[in-house]
Structure 1
Amino acid sequence: MSWLAKTIFFILGWKIVGNLPDQKKFVVIIAPHTSNWDFFMFVLVKFACKIKVSFIGKHTIFVGPIGWLLKRLGGIPVERSSSHNIVDTIVNEFSKKESMIFALSPEGTRSYLDHWKSGFYHIARKANIPVVTAFLDTTTKTIGWGPSFVMTDDKHKDLDKIRMFFADKHGFKPHKYSQVRFLN
């Protein structure tokens, strides 16, 4: 499957760049998330890089054959109305496993928002694991891995560093890219 994913990237003219850290547990934040194509592109990265990744998705998309496929790809259906339980559930999963990569989009949606959701920050802090950046950039046709960050007790300062990394990255629909800031 790795060769097929790499071949698709080659045909599309995209390059995978960067490397994952040599750690067993971390949260991956994927941005910008502005299109349904983002998911497809990162599934290809998952196969090209031969990694096992867990992710969450709205429970309503986990139905029928699509639901089966999403679960096989590492998807975990969630009811998004109870976000605090989601953080604790993911932290609990990290504590039970020897290795785990958990990916999410901090925007939480493909639509424009004036802020990012802070779940990744709380997961990283509670589980004592780093946050690894993952991106796609349509202007350079690159997709891949950026730096990792250890979250401190100053979430706004931490987010400033992350914002600097994503500042020059452009999604498929740049006007839908959410502001890299927390609500509070």
Structure 2
Amino acid sequence: MLLFFYHLQGWKLEGGGPQSRRCIIIGAPHTTNWDFIFFAGATHELGLHAGFMGKDTLFRWPMGRFMREMGGVPVVRSSRQNYVEQMIEAFRTRDELMLVIAPEGTRKQARRWKSGFYHIAVGAGVPIVLGWLDYNTRRGGLGPEMMMTGDYPADMARIRAFYEERLPGHPQLAAITAGDESDDRDPAHQRRADRRAHAGAVRAGGAD
């Protein structure tokens, strides 16, 4: 049914899929639930088995097997690890994981992107693949793979430059370089989050 709507809407896919079997695929801009139709159709057309995060309660009987077969990765809300640490661990234990994340976190115009996808990529040592879609031309695709350096502002500037080239003047692109939402946190909370992310990165690096 999803593929039917994908073709019915006349979407055209540009480019190919990522070379890396372990990566994070981000999609932007996220403006409507119909975005999912494009990414579902695009990943099927490219032969990719994309993964996604979901609440652990969705992976219980009778839906558990279905969710995992669809590429779901459970996030345990009650765990001492936050979702970033849990996804770093998931990458550490899997030979293949293409995790799809919408960094805006909402269909409304976001003031800034959520940075969880970035910290997962840095901690797990995996590239970010830049997915894009243009409703005006009904075209979209997966752009280059980018390894993050740990310099958040510089890396986000590189990401924005790609989207500006594809979607010049789009009003939602300013959110990409508006800063890490962790800037709004209490300093003590941020120090704890930084220590956890560093520990996850050390564990991921030690597995190689």
Count of residues paired in the alignment: 178
Give TM-score, length-normalised by structure 1.
0.79
Higher relative contact order (CA 8 A, sep 6+): 1
- Structure with max Cα Rg: 2
Instruction: Name the structure with the higher helix share.
Output: 2
Quote the offset at 1:40 in angstroms.
2.0
Give the unaligned 5+ runs of structure 2: 184-208
Change (3 A) 1:70 1:165: farther
Task: Note if 1:50 corresponds to 2:59.
Answer: no
Q: Please give the alpha-carbon distance, in whole angstroms, between the structure 2 residues aligned to 1:124 and 1:141.
A: 29
Change (3 A) 1:11 1:113: closer
Aligned residue in 1 for 2:175: 179
Structure 1 ranges of 4+ moved more than 3 A: 7-11, 57-72, 76-82, 174-178
Aligned residue in 2 for 1:88: 85
**Pairing partner for 1:132 from 121, 129, 132:** 129
1:114-125 maps to which residues of 2 (within 5 A)? 114-125=111-122
Q: Please give the alpha-carbon distance, in whole angstroms, between the structure 1 residues aligned to 2:134 and 2:71.
A: 24
Quote the offset at 1:76 in angstroms.
3.6
Change (3 A) 1:66 1:30: farther
Aligned residue in 1 for 2:158: 161
Q: Please give the alpha-carbon distance, in whole angstroms, between the structure 1 residues aligned to 2:48 and 2:106.
A: 24
Question: Identity over the aligned pairs, expressed in percent?
Answer: 36
Q: Please give the alpha-carbon distance, in whole angstroms, between the structure 1 residues aligned to 2:159 and 2:78.
A: 26
**Pairing partner for 1:113 from 79, 102, 110:** 110
Quote the offset at 1:19 in angstroms.
1.7
Change (3 A) 1:178 1:113: farther
Change (3 A) 1:64 1:166: farther
Quote the offset at 1:9 in angstroms.
4.1
Give the unaligned 5+ runs of structure 1: none
Deviations 1:139-177 (A, max 9, x none): 22112101121101211010001111122439xxx7777
Task: Note if 1:97 corresponds to 2:94.
Answer: yes
RMSD: 3.3
Counterpart residue type for residue 87 of structure 1: V
Q: Please give the alpha-carbon distance, in whole angstroms, between the structure 1 residues aligned to 2:171 and 2:54.
A: 23
Contact 1:113–1:178 (Cα < 8 Å) also in 2? no
Aligned residue in 1 for 2:13: 16
What secondary structure is seen at the aligned counterpart in 2 of 1:157?
A: helix
